[in-house]
DNA sequence: CGTTAACCGAGACGGTACGTCGCGTCTTACT
DNA sequence: AGTAAGACGCGACGTACCGTCTCGGTTAACG
């Protein structure tokens, strides 16, 4: 399920790895990430806070980045894809829910980590991004597709493009425009414009 | 004009700070930023490369972040606002030029640093962002406004919204979708959709 | 036994400190002390020469002084207390042997360090001095006592006083009169005078 | 008179050196020497305390050692050579007065500095020592000589030797035995023994 | 009696070393 | 074989001083 871990023990001889230790490390990582930020975060700090030896961390993850990415997995936002009466409403619910889940220190840290690691072009985060972003694009695309005829949308336009526009806009708001005053209005207007652009 | 520096000497007594040293530090920072990335970048490295004492760096900037932000100031992209025949073409030229300037290691580092510092909610980077992002929004808005009647755009929609959508989309492509195969197509289609959304 | 060390690990958990590292540090300290002198001696230098991390030094000693005192422990001179036919000869052998052991760069460094630290009135060096000086006084006193009747020495005089006079004289020669031309003569005459002073 | 200074200006054109600055530096040096010790003493500290630029210090002295030696000149002890009724009393007065002048932080610092610089075999302090120590030896020798017949001292013995024994003993007490409980007794007994050693 | 050369304070400069922190590895005894 | 503890070599941190070098400003003697 998760490929950031170091490879599992080849044999299952000897004492098995403690699941409690695993959880303690991940929990400590998230808490400290929120409290001190990724810059000041250190493995020694995590080990101490989790009441764990450094060895137990390095046995499971190769470095800080891998651990952080793994820890952030736990808080990845769920897309709320409940279909409403109109495309507008449906996308708004989805965007608003997504925004709500990310609009906090941890969520922003997550995006930030993503961007930093991506710009370092590590394979880990590419995989991470593909796993999380692509499905979102597809889900949104299928929502739009579902309302296509009902709302009289053009066949010509690339539906994935609209998804990217929406995702890009929401991401942009999160990264650069928070705290935002008229968030709801911004989201609604943006979605409206995109939908209108899809029409005819 | 730039507020990342430590406070200027209160008086003008004593030997004045060398402008040459200042430049050497900033230049070395940019070069090393490109070569080793921000993670591996160290003050000692910069000092050595610039042929400068560490003190001369710490005298001017409080930490690596402030220095990097300052160095990146020098390579902020210029918006190409030459008006073409149509809004579509004009925005495409603008977006394509912007993209071209940012689609390289240094440009991506710049965005990445921006995001990281913003997520740490430092005042430095908020100021930085406002100084660079807001003008862009205004410039794009005025372009759209210029073509409003000519292209039959609706009065109702918020023109700044369209700018944000465009900026968000381009930023999103830069951060998460590079290297991109069909960049031109993506940009063109995105702009087309946004313009279409503005119509009627 | 030696109290210059930082406190021993409270428990015996964790990896124990390496005895080899300990030795390497002390050896390097002595060698470099001889080569460059205590003024130019630096912790970084010692660490490098010993092939050891600076932390491993600071883990064991709080500062350069403590380390140097500890290193010098190893070369403390042995008193040659072989009894000769006369008090004069016995004391001469002793003084000459002591002088020979101290009359070199390391020996003088040792005395110098002792004086410097004593003038800073650190407890470390008081302890150090008491441990090394007092026994010497006692040994010399017992030698004098041994020859008391045989040589017709007065009962009235403080024998420890004669020891201190001798030690003081030898130390004085070492600190302020080296290199000395007529060392043997100086020692012999001094001892003769002291013995004569003890008589009647 | 004092050769630790850098050479005087070759010409006497231009603004002459300020005597007040000179005094301030020496005073500050002595005060700080007492307060923080020679180890922690720094040129920058002295400059700041004296309200003087570093340049003004380096213009007069080549390094910390030269400055300190120069500053300590001011407090060199005066020998009290008032002749008493007996040699015993005269030497006691002299030793007691000398001891009284040196038995304080500054005096001990002075001896310590002397020892340290001597062990580093700098020329400065050799000169310093010769200038101060030799005259003392000569003065004491002439005192002893003065009482020679009166007290029935042997001609055979080297009188300079007795001086060195006394100086050595007093120095030894100062360096290694302070604070001393029975100082007066120690001095008296020591002198008595030496005088007795000179007899017959 | 104005020129001018050396002085003065302040403080920037390239360095060296400081003592600390965290890295990722290793070595203990214990589970 | 896993675990907590913690030592290990290493590299960078940010600071303190070193001795040198500008700055603007000042003080006398010389010309």
| pTM reported for the whole predicted model | 0.86
Pick the residue from chain C with its C-alpha nearest to D108: C119
Q: How far apart are CA A42 and CA A26, in angstroms?
A: 13
Closest residue to A193, CB basis, from B112, B157, B172: B157
Put simply, whether C22 touches D (Cβ < 8 Å) is: no
The reply to whether B14 has its C-beta less than 7 Å from any atom of strand E is yes
Answer with the residue of higher pLDDT: D155 or C103. Answer: C103
Q: Taking every pair of C-alpha atoms in chain C, what is the biggest distance, in angstroms?
A: 67
Q: Give the CA B61 to C1' F20 distance in Å.
A: 24
Query: Residue A7: pLDDT band by 50, 70, 90 thresholds?
Result: low
Phi/psi at C103 (nearest 5 deg)? -85, 65
- Do A154 and A199 form a contact (C-beta atoms < 8 A)? yes
Note the pLDDT of residue D156.
76
| pLDDT reading at A2 higher than 70 | no
Question: Which of A119, A127, A141, A144 to mutate: most B Cβ within 10 Å?
Answer: A119
B–A contact: 3+ Cβ pairs < 8 A: yes
Share of chain C above pLDDT 70, in %: 90
In this prediction, residues A78-93 reach a mean pLDDT of 91
pLDDT tens readout for residues C121-172:
556 666 667 777 778 889 999 999 999 989 989 887 788 999 999 999 999 9
Question: Has residue C40 got a pLDDT over 60?
Answer: yes
Task: Please identify residues in chain B, positions 26-55, with a C-beta within 7 angstroms of any atom of strand F.
Answer: 42-45, 54-55
In angstroms, the Cα distances linking C50 to C22, C109, C110, C113 are 10, 20, 21, 22
Is C7's pLDDT higher than 70?
no
Please confirm whether the linkage preceding B179 is cis (ω < 30° from 0).
yes
Among partner residues A193, A195, A198, which is closest to B162 by beta-carbon distance? Answer: A193
The predicted-structure confidence for A19-60, as pLDDT tens digits, reads as follows: 999 999 999 999 999 999 888 999 999 999 999 999 999 999
Whether B63 and chain A come into contact, CB under 8 Å, resolves to no
| B186 touching chain A per CB within 8 A | yes
- What is the rounded average pLDDT for all residues in chain C? 88
The nucleotide lying nearest C40 (C-alpha to C1') is E17
Query: Hey, how many other C-beta atoms are within 10 angstroms of the C-beta on B189?
Result: 18
pLDDT of residue A129: 72
Smallest CA–CA distance, residue B42 to chain A, in Å, is 14
**Cβ atoms of residues D106 and D34 within 8 Å:** yes
Collect all residues of chain A within an 8 Å Cβ-Cβ radius of residue B194.
165, 193-194, 197
Q: What is the dihedral of CA A57, A58, A64, A66, to 10 degrees?
A: -90
Q: Does A200 touch chain B (CB under 8 A)?
A: yes
The mean pLDDT of D130-159, rounded to a whole number, is 87
pLDDT band at A112 (very low <50, low <70, confident <90, very high): confident
Q: What residue of A is the nearest CA neighbor of B108?
A: A119
- Give pLDDT, residue A43: 97
Measure, in angstroms, how far nucleotide F29 C1' is from residue B10 CA.
36
Residue C127 is encoded by which pair of tokens? 């302890």
| Structure-token match 């930082």, residue found | C6
C-alpha to C-alpha distances, A9 to A5, A14, C36, C45, nearest whole angstrom? 11, 10, 53, 43
Which ranges constitute the DSSP H helices of D87-122?
87-102, 105-119
Write b or e for each residue in C83-116: b if 16 or more Cβ atoms lie within 10 A of its Cβ, otherwise e: eeeebbebbbebbbbbbebbeeebbbbbbbbbbb
**What pLDDT, on the 0 to 100 scale, is given for residue D73?**
86
Does the bond joining C154 to the residue before it have cis omega, within 30 degrees of 0? no
| Cα distance between the two ends of chain C | 43
pLDDT of res. D79: 86
Q: What is the pLDDT along chain B (200 residues), one digit of tens a residue?
A: 455 677 665 678 899 999 999 999 999 999 999 999 888 999 999 999 999 999 999 999 999 999 998 999 888 888 888 999 999 999 999 999 999 998 888 888 888 888 887 776 555 566 667 777 778 888 999 999 999 888 889 887 788 899 999 999 999 998 888 666 788 899 999 999 999 998 86
Segment C91-109 shows an average pLDDT of 91
pLDDT for residue C1 is more than 50: no
> What's chain D's average pLDDT?
87
CB nearest to A116's CB, from B116, B164, B198: B116
User: CB distance A118–B175 less than 8 Å?
Assistant: yes
Q: Collect all residues of chain C within an 8 Å Cβ-Cβ radius of residue D197.
A: 193-198
Task: Spell out which residues of C between 52 and 91 contact strand F, using CB within 7 Å.
Answer: 52-56, 59-60
Can you give the pLDDT at residue C4? 67
User: What letter would DSSP give residue D76?
Assistant: P
Residue matched to tokens 């307060």: D35
* pLDDT greater than 80 at residue D123: no
- Find, among D57, D76, D54, D78, the residue nearest to D67 by Cα: D57
Mean pLDDT of C46-75: 95
Q: How many CB atoms lie within 10 A of CB B104?
A: 13
- The per-residue pLDDT for range A171-190, each reduced to its tens digit, is 999 888 866 678 889 999 99
Q: Is the pLDDT of residue A1 over 50?
A: no
- Tell me the pLDDT tens digit for each residue of A149-167: 888 898 877 888 999 999 9
pLDDT mean over D41-56: 98
The mean pLDDT of D73-89, rounded to a whole number, is 89
CA distance A77 to chain B (A): 18
D153 phi, psi to nearest 5 deg: -85, 150
**Predicted pLDDT of residue C124:** 60
* pLDDT at D32 > cutoff 80: yes
Q: Return the pLDDT at B96.
A: 93
Helix H or strand E segment including A111: helix A105-119
Higher pLDDT, A107 or D117: A107
Closest CA to C140 of C200, C178, C195: C195
Report the length, in residues, of chain A: 200
Choose among B129, B177, B195: nearest Cβ to A176: B129
Contact by Cβ (8 Å): D87, D159: no
**CA–CA–CA angle A49, A52, A57 (5° rounding):** 105
pLDDT at site B127 = 67
Question: What does the DSSP assignment read for C136-189?
Answer: HHHHHHHHHHHHTTTTTB-SSS-HHHHHHHHHHHHHHHHHHSPSPSSHHHHHHH
Least confident of C26-30, C65-69, D127-131: D127-131
Instruction: Report chain C's C-alpha Rg in angstroms.
Output: 20
């Amino acid at each position: 399920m998760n490929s950031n871990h170091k490879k599992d023990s080849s044999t299952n001889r000897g004492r098995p790895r403690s699941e409690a230790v695993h959880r303690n490390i991940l929990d400590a990582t998230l808490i400290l990430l929120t409290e001190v930020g990724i810059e000041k975060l250190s493995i020694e700090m995590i080990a101490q806070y989790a009441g764990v030896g450094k060895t137990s961390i390095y046995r499971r993850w190769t470095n800080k980045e891998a651990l952080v990415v793994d820890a952030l997995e736990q808080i990845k936002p769920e897309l709320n894809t409940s279909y409403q009466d109109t495309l507008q409403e449906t996308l708004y619910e989805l965007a608003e829910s997504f925004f709500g889940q990310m609009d906090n220190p941890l969520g922003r840290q997550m995006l930030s980590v993503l961007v930093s690691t991506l710009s370092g072009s590590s394979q880990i985060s590419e995989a991470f991004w593909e796993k999380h972003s692509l499905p979102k694009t597809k889900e949104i695309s299928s929502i739009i597709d579902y309302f296509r005829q009902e709302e009289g949308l053009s066949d010509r336009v690339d539906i994935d493009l609209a998804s990217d526009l929406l995702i890009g806009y929401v991401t942009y708001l999160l990264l650069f425009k928070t705290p935002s005053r008229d968030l709801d209005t911004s989201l609604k207007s943006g979605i409206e414009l995109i939908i209108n652009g899809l029409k005819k």
